[in-house]
Structure 1
Amino acid sequence: MKPIFAKILDGKANDIYGLKVVDAPYFSTEFHFHEECQLTYTLESEGRRMIGDSIENFGSDELILVGSNLPHVWHNSIQYFSGVDQQSHARSVSVFIHPDKILDLFKEPDNIQRIKNFFQLAKRGMKFGDAIKNQLKELMLKVVSEGEEVGRLIGLLEILNLLCSTKDYEFLTSPGYTNNYQLKDNDRMDKILKYVFDNFNQEILLSAAAEMTNMNKQAFCRYFKNRTQKTFVSFVNEVRIGHACKLMAQSDQQISELAYACGFNNLSNFNKFFKLAKGITPKEYKRMLVVD
């Protein structure tokens, strides 16, 4: 799935920010990146998101920051596209901040360095804790509803001040992640990510994925790892493990049932890959959920 370069503020040279409100049956599944930092609060929806080399489930009441030129996509669960669940809906609010244009507003070196440091950290993507999330989402909703440009700009600066001050977040991508996607790439990765996200609970063959992109297996493996910085098998298993964690939190299914429901063909493989991904066994993870 190749991320497309998107110009959020194209044609508006003086704009330093942009706003986007989504209220639709499902989110767009286009994998893309852009120069602007994107702060997104999901009011209602669920599925899987990929940000850089991070693959996780997402749900309602989640606040995520995507840094400059960091590839990302929010992909809804299959029921959103099938129309089976008429109650499924996707609602979000996003604030886009252009790093260079924000920095041009400040003349004091100390202020510039503080903001520069934040924009550098943001390149790994951030997920915010509840305390700061509640403050930021209130400001975001206020900015979106604000009718005056001055009020929106003041709200934006308040948001930026909180972002630069808080330590209540976790990084999403690994420390060494870099964006290796190129604008000349075709839609190969688009096809692969959508295919895996929609079919992870079934058998997914490397040969089928390679054929889908018109490559042989060896070329496909090199291509996929260069773009995502992980092997195709690891990617598929991470998607499956993420779904298993979701099922464990929502139901009392036996671990063996969970394994097969997530696309693993035997319990041994499930246990092995789960521990590799989470550092603990499925039983330990389930026990931890009960304690919490």
Structure 2
Amino acid sequence: MMPIIEIIDGLYTEKSFHYGALDLPAFEHFWHAHPEMELTFIQKGEGMRYVGDSIQPFTHGDLVFLGSYLPHSWATYRSPTIENERVTAKFFQFPASLFLQFPEYRFLTSFFREANYGLYFANPSAALLNKIHDFGSFPRHLQILQLFDLILELFIQKKRVQISQKPARMLPGFQFLEKEEQRLARVLKWIHEQHATAITLDQAAKEAAMSKTYFCRWFSKINGCTFMQYLNRLRIEQACQMLVFSDKTVGEIAYASGFENISHFNRVFRGVKKQSPTALRQQASLR
């Protein structure tokens, strides 16, 4: 089965890495891959872990480091005897270039290559676990420093085991993943360049070389929202910049952002920002 490409919202434009903490009734099977590396720690839960060509059971304390494009999924068992059972995990996603852009960190290159097969860490040190547990308590501007410290602590762990027999590039579908990423990048670039014009769903589908019906399914599955939701969110973010940093009227901003009338702009703006354009401008002027 081909993995789904996961696009991490806001990565590269709003943040250089993604940190998440999950608390769910269960981990549903979601076979996916992404260009970024990923460190995942299962705090509570048990089930099956799928990484590359490997299928293995996991339980509390499962700590795994995954390379770029290595398909993966965790699927938990549901206990019929435990009510309101929860599973929890913490994960970190980042491009290898975040570290390797610095000459001082290029000694991690071989370690990151190991991660192309997936690495399981048995009996991680207390220092490493503490860094994972405490990560969310740091303000965002300090978390990137904590991430560097965390990966360095991960690097010195001796008890690590290769998970998959094959790296991502040798698994079925790898070339498909690269092709899909290139197509998505082309479509998103086109949307960002044309969002202030009267672009249509038909034009977007043509840009992706797909039928309109298939494009809608493809775009929603990859981005987690419809084409129009993505386009409107992009337009509203552009409008916010103009509201704060320009003297243009709300009407001028609406048209400059790609909306054909002010009433539609106001309705979409409220739906995205939960306030009116005027209220946001007034709020910004008080800062």
TM-score, length-normalised on structure 2?
0.56
Contact 1:70 1:124 in 2 (8 A): yes
**Which of 129, 135, 142 is residue 122 of structure 2 equivalent to?**
129
Query: 2 CA distance for matches of 1:97 and 1:124?
Result: 17
Query: 1 CA distance for matches of 2:132 and 2:29?
Result: 23
Give, as a single letter, the amino acid of the residue that structure 1 aligns with 2:158.
K
User: Hey, what does 2:100 align to over in structure 1?
Assistant: 103
Give, as a single letter, the amino acid of the residue that structure 1 aligns with 2:4.
I
CA deviation after TM superposition for structure 1 residue 9, in Å: 4.8
Give runs of aligned pairs for residues 272-287 of structure 1, distance below 5 A.
none
Contact 2:46 2:57 in 1 (8 A): yes
Give, as a single letter, the amino acid of the residue that structure 2 aligns with 1:160.
I
**Which of 86, 90, 94 is residue 87 of structure 2 equivalent to?**
90
User: Hey, what does 1:140 align to over in structure 2?
Assistant: 132
| Larger relative contact order, structure 1 or 2 (CA cutoff 8 Å, min sep 6) | 1
Q: Is the aligned partner of 1:120 residue 2:117?
A: no
User: Hey, what does 1:221 align to over in structure 2?
Assistant: none
Query: 2 CA distance for matches of 1:101 and 1:158?
Result: 13
Q: 1:61 to 1:176 in 2, by over 3 A?
A: closer
Give runs of aligned pairs for residues 146-157 of structure 1, distance below 5 A.
146=138, 148-157=139-148
Query: 2 CA distance for matches of 1:11 and 1:170?
Result: 29
Contact 1:34 1:68 in 2 (8 A): yes
Q: 1:15 to 1:117 in 2, by over 3 A?
A: farther
SS at match of 2:131: helix
CA deviation after TM superposition for structure 1 residue 41, in Å: 0.9
Give, as a single letter, the amino acid of the residue that structure 1 aligns with 2:130.
E
User: Hey, what does 2:75 align to over in structure 1?
Assistant: 75
Give, as a single letter, the amino acid of the residue that structure 2 aligns with 1:180.
P
Q: 1:151 to 1:112 in 2, by over 3 A?
A: closer
Query: 2 CA distance for matches of 1:97 and 1:85?
Result: 35
RMSD after superposition: 2.3
CA deviation after TM superposition for structure 1 residue 165, in Å: 2.8
Percent identity between matched residues is 23
SS at match of 1:113: helix
Query: 1 CA distance for matches of 2:167 and 2:130?
Result: 33
Contact 2:53 2:166 in 1 (8 A): no
Query: 1 CA distance for matches of 2:134 and 2:52?
Result: 29
Give, as a single letter, the amino acid of the residue that structure 1 aligns with 2:89.
S
SS at match of 1:130: coil
Contact 2:31 2:72 in 1 (8 A): yes
Q: Can you give the 5+ residue segments of structure 2 that lack an aligned partner in the other structure?
A: 181-287
Query: 1 CA distance for matches of 2:97 and 2:64?
Result: 21
**Which of 139, 143, 164 is residue 173 of structure 1 equivalent to?**
164
Over 4 Å off, 4+ runs: none
Q: Can you give the 5+ residue segments of structure 1 that lack an aligned partner in the other structure?
A: 186-292
Contact 2:118 2:162 in 1 (8 A): yes
Decide which structure has the larger Cα Rg and report it. Answer: 2
Give, as a single letter, the amino acid of the residue that structure 2 aligns with 1:174.
Q
SS at match of 2:165: coil
CA deviation after TM superposition for structure 1 residue 114, in Å: 1.0
Query: 2 CA distance for matches of 1:65 and 1:31?
Result: 16
Contact 1:43 1:61 in 2 (8 A): yes
Contact 2:99 2:105 in 1 (8 A): no
Cα offsets for 1:140-191 (capped at 9, x unmatched) = 2211221x23321221111121223333211101156623223489xxxxxx
User: Hey, what does 1:15 align to over in structure 2?
Assistant: 15
Cα offsets for 1:232-280 (capped at 9, x unmatched) = xxxxxxxxxxxxxxxxxxxxxxxxxxxxxxxxxxxxxxxxxxxxxxxxx
Give, as a single letter, the amino acid of the residue that structure 1 aligns with 2:149.
E
Contact 1:35 1:69 in 2 (8 A): yes
Aligned residue-pair number: 176
CA deviation after TM superposition for structure 1 residue 130, in Å: 1.1
Give runs of aligned pairs for residues 5-84 of structure 1, distance below 5 A.
5-10=5-10, 12-13=12-13, 15-77=15-77, 79=78
Query: 1 CA distance for matches of 2:72 and 2:167?
Result: 17
Query: 2 CA distance for matches of 1:165 and 1:61?
Result: 18
